[in-house]
Chain A
Amino acid sequence: MGEDALAGGASNESGGNHMTTHTTGGRLLGLQGPGQEGLLSRLNSAWHERALWVFMVVVIGHWAEHIVQGVQIWVLSMPRPQALGGLGFLAPVLVSSEAMHFGFAVLMLTGLFVLRSGFSGSSRTWWNASLALQGWHFVEHFVLLLQVVLGLNFFGSPVPTSLLQPFIPRAELHLMYNLLVFVPMVVGMWLHSRPSPDGEATCSCSLPKDGEPVDEACAVAV
């Protein structure tokens, strides 16, 4: 019953509860009425916590690959073309294919965009920062893919080159891009997982689950 209620259930504002019940129902749960919710709406209400968790697992897997690549380059002193991360070591095409990089940039951008409306307050600001930075990261990968498709590389380089690569080598540059996207994403998620003091929660991420204590901030939200 719980999830159905969150996804599309009743918005019971009545009941004489002495708590700030005006924030319940639609605003708390992002409800549109039974049967009216699409996937996007569910992903930002009842399924937000799960969707964020799955998305974060994918993101941290990719981030871990960049860390492994960094260890290969700067700790193990491997030649850069051989420093392909963990999965790239098994299947080099995962690293050398520009289409693969572009595909992941699209996935990241889509995930950040789709899950954005479930955030509010300062967590949303951090999430937006991550989205904006990923937007630029996406442009960089689009430009790289474009060079491969057109057979025309920038800056007279014999290989596809990122826009900021004349200043920072590719491994460092894309490590930095991923760091800049990852950090505000984690901060946003962490803030979002805490009960909002203004009671603006629109999903279940900060609500206490069965067996968890209900604190004051949540009381305001409920």
Chain B
Amino acid sequence: MGALQRGRVIQLVALGVIFWLVVLSSPAWAHGENDARPIARDVQTGPYVATLWQVIGDHGSSLSSHLVVSFGEHSPTAGDVVVIEVGGAAGGTLEASPTSATQWSTAATAEFGADVRIGVSTESGAWWSQSTTVPRPPSALLPMRALMAVFAFVSTLVIAWLGKRARRAWAKTPSPAALRMRVGETT
């Protein structure tokens, strides 16, 4: 493929991507929740299996932590009741997620060490899960502070090198003939 054709293909792809981003993906521009961690997976509640998530939502100037119960393929339906108990106290009834058929959320939150239970009530029965304890937030396996110091140092070196190259990058490039002349002078 010639350089001209390749250039056209790249331009077409870039235009397509921009079109797709602007026209089709407007929800992607939304300021959404960006941190979630699973508190417990495979929590059996009667016939249902769920994952309990703690979601920390960022609302610009404030943070709010809340719980989300994410069921597997087999999920309670809209008429059923899903509740949560945190530290022995009622954590409230969960609302079905408007965007997912299998997720239920509540404004309640749970701190490290609290015992949490999920309850489901349907026409065919009511069940509680085994109590599960909220684990400590995961700690980094690597010495992240030291790594950040190394990254910052190396990046500073790269920035210094780029700074040195800046003047060169915009300096006039000699013609091949002039270069040959200079090579001839030096050898």
Report how far A21 CA is from B184 CA in the complex, Å: 12
Report how far A213 CA is from B7 CA in the complex, Å: 36
- Return the CB mask of B140-165 against A: 1 if under 8 Å, else 0: 10001101100110010011011001
CB distance from A100 to the nearest CB of B (A): 8
- The residue on B at minimum CB distance from A54 is B169
Total contacting residues, chain A, CB less than 8 A: 85
Interface presence of A87 (CB below 8 A): no
Report how far A99 CA is from B36 CA in the complex, Å: 19
Q: Given A93-B29, A103-B21, A209-B168, are A172 and B140 neighbors across the interface (CB < 8 Å)?
A: yes
Contact A145 B25 (CB under 8 A): yes
Q: Given A5-B176, A75-B145, A172-B140, are A81 and B56 neighbors across the interface (CB < 8 Å)?
A: yes
Interface presence of A22 (CB below 8 A): no
Contact A80 B56 (CB under 8 A): yes
Contact B55 A159 (CB under 8 A): yes
Report how far A216 CA is from B183 CA in the complex, Å: 8
List chain A residues, Cβ under 8 A from B51.
156
Contact A53 B162 (CB under 8 A): yes
Contact B179 A214 (CB under 8 A): yes
Q: Given A2-B173, A6-B173, A169-B138, are A207 and B31 neighbors across the interface (CB < 8 Å)?
A: no
- Identify which of B37, B145, B158, B183 contacts A214 (C-beta below 8 A): B183
Query: Which B5-58 residues have a C-beta within 8 angstroms of A?
Result: 6-7, 10, 14, 17, 21, 24-25, 27-38, 51, 53, 55-58
- Return the CB mask of A73-84 against B: 1 if under 8 Å, else 0: 111000111100
Interface presence of B84 (CB below 8 A): no
- Return the CB mask of A90-106 against B: 1 if under 8 Å, else 0: 00110111111011001
List chain A residues, Cβ under 8 A from B89.
none
Q: How extensive is the interface on chain B, given as a class?
A: 35 or more
Total A-B pairs in contact (CB under 8 Å)?
A: 206
CB distance from A148 to the nearest CB of B (A): 5
- Identify which of B36, B152, B180 contacts A222 (C-beta below 8 A): B180
Interface presence of A24 (CB below 8 A): yes
Contact B172 A81 (CB under 8 A): no
CB distance from B129 to the nearest CB of A (A): 16
Report how far A52 CA is from B158 CA in the complex, Å: 13
Contact B7 A38 (CB under 8 A): yes
Interface residues of B (CB under 8 A from A): 3-4, 6-7, 10, 14, 17, 21, 24-25, 27-38, 51, 53, 55-58, 60, 63, 68, 70, 72, 97, 99-100, 102-103, 105, 138, 140, 144-145, 147-148, 151-152, 155, 158-159, 161-162, 165-166, 168-180, 182-184, 186-187
Interface residues of A (CB under 8 A from B): 1-3, 5-6, 9-10, 12, 15, 17, 19, 21, 24-25, 28-29, 32, 38-41, 46, 49-50, 52-53, 56-57, 60, 63-64, 67, 70-71, 73-75, 79-82, 92-93, 95-100, 102-103, 106, 110, 113-114, 145, 148-149, 151-153, 156-159, 169-170, 172, 179, 186, 190, 193, 204, 207-214, 216, 218-219, 222
